[in-house]
Structure formats: C-alpha cells, structure tokens
Structure 1
Amino acid sequence: MKDVRSHAPPKKGRPSKAYSQAERLARILRALASRAMTVKDMSQEFGITRRQVYRDLDQIHEQGHPLEQSEGEGQKTWQLPLGYKGIPPITVSPYELMAIYCAKSHLDYLRGTPFTDDLDRLIAKVEAGLSYKVLNHLARIHQVFLPRVGPLRDYAGKKTVINQLQKALLLQRTIVLIHARPDHDESVEHRVDPYRLVLHQSGLYVVGYSHRAKALRMFAVERMASAKVLEECFRLPDEVDLDAMYGKVFGLIDEPAQRIRVQFTSNVAYLVKERRWHPSQTVDILEDGSVVVNFLTGGMDEVASWVLSWAEDAKVLEPQALIEVVKARLARARKNYC
C-alpha cells in the first residue's frame, strides 16, 4: 500500500519555552535566596521582559515568601533571606485557632473583601492539618464569639480596589486612585504613595503622599471608584512618623494638640474609668463620685461628638474652643425640636 502520510515541513511557531512559569519562579526563588538582584538582572538572567519580572515578583510575594526590596538610592534590588528554603509548615493549637476566629469575628465589616477571603483560606489551611477530634470541636469555637459592632460600611463592592491597595502597600508601589470627596460631585485622579492603611470605627482609610497635593493626605476606601498599581516604587521618608502623628489625635483629624478636660457625672463614672479614650489620658476622681478625664489631643469636632454622645452626663471644662463647639452644636440641635 502506498504511503500517503504527509511529508510537509512542520509549521513554524513560537519556540518552546526552556522552562515553565512554575520552574521559572522556582529558579528566581533560588537566585534571590543567594543574592540581591535588580529587575534588569532578572530580565537578562531568565530571558523575560521587565513587565514579566514585576508579575513574577508580585506572584512570589502573594505566595507568602518574605521578599525584601532595598531602600537605598539608585536601582532597587530584591532578595530573599540568604539560604531561604521556602515557607515551613505551620501548626496551631485549638486555643490559637480560637484567637484567629476572635480576630475574624471583629472583621465582619470587611466581608467579601480580600482581607476576609485570605483569612478564610488561612483558616482552611490550618483546619486541614488538625486531627478529627479537634475538628469536632470547631462548631463550639464558632459559637464562642458574638461580636456586636456599630453601623457598618459595606466594602464587598470594593474587592478589586482593596486588592490593588494590598499590593501597593506591601510592595511599596505608587498607586493611581480615582477618589471622590463627600463635598464634590466629580471624582478626581490622585497619584499616591500609600504609607498606611488606617482602620477607624469600622472604616478603612489610606494615608499617603499625594503627588497632586504634594502633601500627606488621607483617602476613604469607600469613596474610591478604582485603583491601579504602578510599577514605580517609593521609599517611606524617614521624617514621616505616622505612629506619633496618630498617637496624639482623638480620631482621624490631625490638628495641634490642646489640653482637654471633661467632667462626667457619678452615673457614668464607672464606664468612663473602665475605658482608655486616649494614650495621654489621666482620670481625677472627685468627692461627689464624678470624674474628670484629661488628655492632650487635636480634632475638636471629633472630641465634641464624643462629649455629646454622653448627653447630660458630660460637661467640658476646657478648652474654651471646645466649649464653644459643643454649645453651637447643641443650639443647632435644639432648633430641630422647636
């Protein structure tokens, strides 16, 4: 029988890769565990584009490897701890798992975001390594906590935005935010070097350097229409001390600190004494059972809201500026009932 098989030359196409993406990532991990490398170094050594290098670095970071980048001037370098062999297996006790569930119960306002999604995956990994006897007690662990929080903001629709924020914060990358202020109808584009993610009263805020304002600014996550991480890296300035900055304010507003003195009646004195309202707080107990709370802080509007939340059981003693703010707000509120 005549051989009818085709003897046409093989079709030309892209040459096969020398190694798969998984193999390339493993090679990059081994290289970074032995020395610091720039993006250019990795591009040349592994025969990939600079854009692909950034994507591989992002994936290595997202897998949980302790990737470090240099903080010096000039070209940035990336490196893993010398001799790094990968992430070791983690085991936890039932009590440690209970602590994880406790943390999760206080993050319900972040449900549907990468934070709780990642936490759920972490818990699943931990549970996978537990014995059958311990797993039988998980139902009890779920029932231990009953979180009761105030009004919540819905961040489920901000999943993509938060994912980009996570990457920008962890990798110290500049990010482009489309953000709307509450007193403006239109959104504005901001190039921001994000320094911190602030959690305040079940709200998420990004603090960073705004290239538009050329100053430190705060952006509410719920007002972000979109976010895009750039390949541009930044360095946190040495002179920026956010812990010190937010340690002196009462809430989020950064204003010059003033001496605050508020007297509370004996009806609520026990509630006031049991809580720490500010790091600089001291409490004076008076003979009639009332107490005076003293601290140094800025943000008079936020302090006024706190004072007014105690109604007739709180009275501002100083400063006069705070007294005037409280009096003005009470007068406006009274008009609503005339």
Structure 2
Amino acid sequence: MRHEKGEALLTLALEMQAARAGLTLRQIQERFGVGRRTAMRMRDAVLRVFPQAIEREGEDRQKRWHIPPGTLDRLASVPADELAVLDSAVRLLEDQGRALDAATLAGLAGKLRAVMPPDHARRVEPDVEALLEAEGLACRPGPRQRFEPDMADTLRNALKAGVAVRLTYGSRRDPTPKGRVVHPFGVLHGHRHYLVGHQTDPAPSGVRLFSLPRITAIEPLDQSAERPPGFDLSAFAKQAFGVFQEDPVDVAWRFSTDVAEDARRFRFHPDQTEETAPDGSLIVRFRAGGLLEMAWHLYTWGDRVEVLSPPQLAAMVHPHRQAWGALP
C-alpha cells in the first residue's frame, strides 16, 4: 500500500510538471479519484519534496500548482505497455491507409525511445515485442483507401493555417478530375475517409464531403477559409451512422435476447439510448442518417436484429437477413 501511495505521489509530481498551467485541487481529485482532503495532503507532500513548485492563480481565480520543466525529467520513464500501445496505434493507422498520421505517431515513439536511458530502453524493448505479439495485431485484410502522404501533409497544413484550397477532384457522377475551390473544415476517418468543406467554385454547394482518394492534387490558396456561423464538425459527424451524410431520421433497432448482451458492448451512435424490453431484448434508439451504412452493419447480426424504424431501413435489411444468425 505504501508503494502505491508513493507511485501516486510521483505520478502527481510528473503531471504537475507536464501541465503548463498547473493543476487545481479539483483536477487532482478527479485524476486520482480522491476526496478534497486527500488531494490537499497529496499536493502538500509533493510541495515538500519539490519546494521549487510554483503556485499561481488562474483567470477563474482557482489556485494551480506547477513544477518547473526539467525538474523530474530523469525520474520519468516510459513503461513497456505504453510503448506497445503507441506501436499498436501506428500499425492500426497504417492499416487504415493513414500513412501520414502513422509516420507522425511513429516519430513520437522514436523520440520517446531516444530520450530513454539506454539501460531502461534495453530492458523494456523485449516486453514491448511480447505485448504486441500477445495482442495478435495484424494488418486487416481487404480493401482500403489510399491517400498520398504528401497530399495529406498539404491538407493538414492548410487546415492548420485556416486557408482555402484548390482541389483537383473527380466525383462518382463526374469522374474526370476538375478544379474546385473548397474551404476545408476537417477530415472524417472511417471505412472511408472524407474531407468536410464548403465548395465555392465552380458553384457554391454548401457543406459537403470530398472522398480523399479522389483528390489528385491540392493547392493552398491565399484566401482564408470561411466557416458557416455555428458550424460544429463533431455535431455534423453525429448526423451520420458512419461518414456518409444524409438527412437524419429516428432509428430504432431491437436485438433479440440471445445477443442483447453482445449488443450492449457496442456504441452504435454517440447519442444512443438503450431500453431493455420485458422479454429481455434490447432496443437501441438514436437519430442519424446513413441508412446504407447501417444496413451493411446490420447484415452482420443476421436474424438477431429487427429494425423498428425507419421503414425504409427495414425494407433494406429484413429481406436479406442471414438465416444462420449473427456472425461472431
């Protein structure tokens, strides 16, 4: 127990150094799941060991405590499980076709390894390999979308700079690539990757999606990207079950009793509600568009799911339910 308390205090000290604005008592309480008195005792213990800690008051008039950078650098180390998670994330990003993001995260992992003491690095590296092997992580077979890393880097820089871009883009309806001036808002990643933006030339089209693999060239423009008042990318994404945008509708699915527990382990939509029926089946409700993507997912549940609404989704799913039941 004493060792656990010591570990918690060391963790608190490291986080007080990492937080540039410092930590409040409330943040200490939430981070370590303790009451206010315990948080005060933990803070005081760290301040006794590190008297160089700075106390400051924020704009919200709450006191914060910060340990100057470099104070604990030699005490910090990266455990094997954290490195393994980073390496796993790199492989998953590569599997999703997000080469630039994978390279960025791999660079971060490399920097962490570079600052680790050599003896510690030699000790944890075999553990990292063992953890990755235990996870059984492998590239997922099947089709994946491609998007050139150089163009991804150009798009990311345009988003950071807040400027419009000229895309050379070919849609499904018109596959011949043409120039389009787009004000980019962000990128949605999923089975397919899309740029969210507002096209202003050749003709204004409102907020729409541009498939990243269909972009063959990107040119940043000397023009600020304008966003519609009140537009929120997260709220926009929630309108869809996947990434394909269409008018949202009220959705309700009933999962049979034998798969209800499995269905509870899924988060089908950020705003979903759940209801257990008297017979033990599970009813999930949310509001979103993207009926085709919903149908693709529901096929994997076979005849263990019933679409209560909307009727058009039921018509897509029910005639094609797999008679042998849900897939594993």
Specify the TM-score bucket, using the shorter chain as the normaliser: 0.5 to 0.7
- 1:108 Cα offset (Å): 2.0
Matched, 1:196 2:186: yes
Question: SS of the residue aligned with 1:144?
Answer: helix
Query: What CA distance in whole angstroms lies between the structure 2 residues aligned with 1:195 and 1:310?
Result: 35
Query: Equivalent residues in 2 for 1:182-331 (5 A)?
Result: 182-201=172-191, 203-212=192-201, 213-214=203-204, 215-327=206-318, 330=320
Q: Call closer, same or farther: CA 1:265–1:251 in 2, change over 3 Å.
A: same
- Determine the structure 2 residue equivalent to 1:61: none
Instruction: Provide the TM-score with structure 2 as the length reference.
Output: 0.65
- Determine the structure 2 residue equivalent to 1:104: 90
- 1:150 Cα offset (Å): 6.3
After superposition, give the CA deviation of every residue in 1:53-111 in whole Å (9 maximum; x if it has no partner): xxxxxxxxxxxxxxxxxxxxxxxxxxxxxxxxxxxx98762254344334323212256
- Determine the structure 2 residue equivalent to 1:133: 119
Question: SS of the residue aligned with 1:280?
Answer: coil
Matched, 1:93 2:91: no
- 1:272 Cα offset (Å): 0.4
Counterpart residue type for residue 173 of structure 1: V
After superposition, give the CA deviation of every residue in 1:225-264 in whole Å (9 maximum; x if it has no partner): 1112223232434321121121232112333332212112
Query: What CA distance in whole angstroms lies between the structure 2 residues aligned with 1:111 and 1:302?
Result: 20
| Structure 1: gaps (5+ residues) | 1-88, 332-338
Counterpart residue type for residue 242 of structure 1: L
What RMSD over aligned residues (CA atoms) do the two structures have, in Å?
A: 3.0
Q: Call closer, same or farther: CA 1:209–1:110 in 2, change over 3 Å.
A: same
Moved more, 217-226 or 116-125: 116-125
8 Å CA contact retained: 2:113, 2:121: yes
8 Å CA contact retained: 1:109, 1:154: no
Q: Call closer, same or farther: CA 1:219–1:143 in 2, change over 3 Å.
A: farther
Q: Call closer, same or farther: CA 1:118–1:168 in 2, change over 3 Å.
A: same
- Determine the structure 2 residue equivalent to 1:29: none
- Determine the structure 1 residue equivalent to 2:157: 167
Query: Equivalent residues in 2 for 1:18-37 (5 A)?
Result: none
After superposition, give the CA deviation of every residue in 1:108-150 in whole Å (9 maximum; x if it has no partner): 2256833222222222222111012221212322442333546
Which residue of 180, 183, 208 maps to 2:170? 180
- 1:330 Cα offset (Å): 3.2
Q: Percent identity between the aligned chains?
A: 22
Counterpart residue type for residue 161 of structure 2: L
Larger radius of gyration: 1
Counterpart residue type for residue 269 of structure 1: A
8 Å CA contact retained: 2:93, 2:99: no
Query: What CA distance in whole angstroms lies between the structure 1 residues aligned with 2:216 and 2:271?
Result: 37
Instruction: Provide the TM-score with structure 1 as the length reference.
Output: 0.63
Query: What CA distance in whole angstroms lies between the structure 2 residues aligned with 1:186 and 1:279?
Result: 37
8 Å CA contact retained: 1:174, 1:231: yes
8 Å CA contact retained: 2:274, 2:285: yes
8 Å CA contact retained: 1:110, 1:116: no
- Determine the structure 2 residue equivalent to 1:16: none
Query: What CA distance in whole angstroms lies between the structure 1 residues aligned with 2:293 and 2:257?
Result: 24
Counterpart residue type for residue 125 of structure 2: L
- 1:196 Cα offset (Å): 0.4
Query: What CA distance in whole angstroms lies between the structure 2 residues aligned with 1:144 and 1:235?
Result: 46
- Determine the structure 2 residue equivalent to 1:115: 101
Query: What CA distance in whole angstroms lies between the structure 2 residues aligned with 1:194 and 1:309?
Result: 34
Which structure shows the higher helix fraction? Answer: 2
Query: What CA distance in whole angstroms lies between the structure 2 residues aligned with 1:289 and 1:277?
Result: 19
8 Å CA contact retained: 1:263, 1:292: yes
After superposition, give the CA deviation of every residue in 1:195-233 in whole Å (9 maximum; x if it has no partner): 1011113x3211011113411121111111111222323
